[in-house]
């Protein structure tokens, strides 16, 4: 039985996990735009299914949403920024970091990325001034982009763990019992054999 365990196992599993994740996120972002296009194209039932699905995550207020052909996107401008920023950065991720990297940046980076969004929300909430669709979109995109660097390492860790779980484990090394160690002959018992 070969007990050699290589330190680096060549695998495409992280690439597969990234590809599936990128395809899923791109499909979700596409649905944000498909909803108003379906509504404008006479596919009201399809549009309503998409709108209802996204209503779980977004308020979908018309006064805070972009429109295509007279129909609002499936999410508000801030959520559009979150989704688009996440999707764009996810697509670029392999060019920025290795897919085998499972470490995340310090949590403070994520908090810093949320600060502009918090400020943009607060100025409107407290009536200081009116924010815009563009400010909501950009602050959402910033947070969505930074969130990728916390989500992808977790996915890569899962991909590598599932690989390790599927590999057979080498036999464990066990120490000899204390009695056996004590009964072993010693060079100190025969001074003439010492070097």
Q: What are the residue boundaries of the structural domains of the chain, listed by start?
A: 13-193
Identify the helix (H) or strand (E) that includes residue 68: strand 67-68
Cβ atoms of 5 and 170 within 8 Å: the answer is: yes
Q: How much is the pLDDT for 167? A: 59
CA dihedral 48, 51, 52, 57 (to 10 degrees): 180
Q: What is the pLDDT of residues 139-190, one digit of tens each?
A: 999 999 999 999 999 999 988 886 666 655 555 555 555 555 455 555 556 5
| pTM, to two decimals | 0.77
- Hey, which residues does 67 pair with through a beta bridge? 72
Digit-by-digit pLDDT tens for the chain (195 residues) are 556 555 555 678 899 999 999 999 999 999 999 999 999 999 999 999 999 999 999 999 999 999 999 999 999 999 999 999 999 999 999 999 999 899 999 999 999 999 999 999 999 999 898 999 999 999 999 999 999 999 999 999 988 886 666 655 555 555 555 555 455 555 556 556 555
Tokens of residue 67, six digits:
């429109």
Q: What angle do CA 190, 192, 195 make, to 5 degrees?
A: 105
Q: How much is the pLDDT for 2? A: 59
Q: How much is the pLDDT for 160? A: 84
Query: What is the rounded distance in angstroms from the CA atom of residue 120 to the CA atom of residue 140?
Result: 10
Query: What is the rounded distance in angstroms from the CA atom of residue 38 to the CA atom of residue 54?
Result: 15
Tokens of residue 64, six digits:
């805070």
């Amino acid at each position: 039985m070969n007990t050699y365990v290589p330190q680096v196992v060549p695998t495409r599993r992280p690439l597969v996990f990234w590809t599936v994740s990128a395809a899923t996120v791109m499909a979700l972002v596409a649905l944000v735009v498909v909803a108003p296009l379906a509504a404008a194209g006479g596919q009201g039932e399809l549009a309503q299914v998409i709108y209802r699905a996204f209503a779980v995550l977004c308020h979908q207020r018309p006064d805070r949403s972009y429109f295509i052909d007279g129909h609002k996107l499936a999410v508000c401008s801030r959520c559009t920024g979150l989704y688009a920023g996440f999707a764009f950065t996810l697509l670029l991720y392999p060019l920025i970091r290795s897919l085998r990297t499972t470490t995340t940046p310090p949590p403070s980076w994520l908090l810093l990325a949320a600060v502009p969004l918090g400020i943009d929300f607060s100025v409107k909430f407290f009536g200081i001034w009116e924010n815009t669709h563009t400010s909501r979109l950009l602050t959402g995109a910033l947070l969505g982009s930074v969130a990728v660097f916390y989500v992808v390492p977790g996915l890569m860790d899962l991909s590598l763990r599932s690989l390790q779980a599927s590999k057979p484990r080498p036999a464990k090394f066990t120490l000899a019992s204390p009695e056996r160690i004590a009964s072993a002959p010693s060079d100190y018992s025969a001074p003439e054999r010492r070097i």
